[in-house]
A = this chain, B = another copy of it.
Amino acid sequence: MKALENHLPYIEQPKILVATDCIVFGFDEGILKLLVFRRRIDPLKGEWSLIGSFVNEEESVPDAARRVLLQFTGLENIFLEELKAYSDVDRDSGARCISIAQYALIRINDYDREQVELHGAKWFALDDVPQLVLDHNTMITDALDRLRQKTTHKPIGFELLPEKFTIPQLQSLYEAIHRTKLDDRNFRKKLLSFDLLIKLDEKDKSTSKKGAFLYRFNYDKYKKLEESGFNFVL
């Protein structure tokens, strides 16, 4: 650590490589999954890595992340939120480079499968994620912690499900994220008590004999409630 104050003008300040890496979560058949790909540049070319990019002069960090997500999945308007900056001096053997990690939630059936394969990307179940380059496995651990924290306080889990979903589906998502078994009856009761789900007339019969009613999350109502101080806690 330097003890002297820095009064140099902008022009004489050190410039650094800035990257962004995306921890992309998906939920498929009751399993939480992550999107990773084979790195295309040296060093560590060909190794598994989070998808990411260097940040260009003319774009913000979230813009860079959205660019990457569009490239790899063909999707726009994805839930995306900053995780944190990774800035250890020796974190990247290629050069001094900081990465501002972002996590994204996508509806796993909406993305463009061809586009994903074209870029050498692949979905891994959370438990099967291989060794990744640099500090990317740490990023995943941190992102998962954040996801757990965030899903209990904000209704963002819906971003991982289809627009129309059943209550058992939502429950299995929460169980996958938090690695717990929840009581069906209490989960349902609490969820419905918010009065934020719109019950549809359709049923989903893909997973059971009886079939479960489909619901839709009432974003408009939630926005209003949130503004007036309402707190979602699941």
Contact = CB atoms under 8 A, between A and B. Distances in A.
A18 interface: yes
Interface stretch (A88-96, A160-168, A187-195, A204-212): A88-96
B54 A14 contact: yes
* Top 6 A-B pairs, shortest CB-CB distance: A15-B15, A61-B87, A13-B54, A60-B87, A10-B95, A1-B67
B87 A100 contact: yes
Contacts of A67: 1-3
A63 B1 contact: yes
B6 A119 contact: no
B88 A60 contact: yes
B13 A17 contact: yes
13 contacts: A3-B71, A5-B40, A9-B41, A10-B17, A14-B17, A14-B54, A14-B55, A15-B17, A57-B89, A58-B89, A61-B85, A61-B87, A87-B100
A96 to B, nearest CB: 6
Contacts of A146: none
Contacts of A100: 85, 87, 100
A9 B54 CA distance: 10
A110 interface: no
Interface residues on A, range: 35 or more
Nearest to A53: B6
A95 B57 CA distance: 10
A98 B1 CA distance: 21
A67 B4 CA distance: 9
A108 B89 CA distance: 31
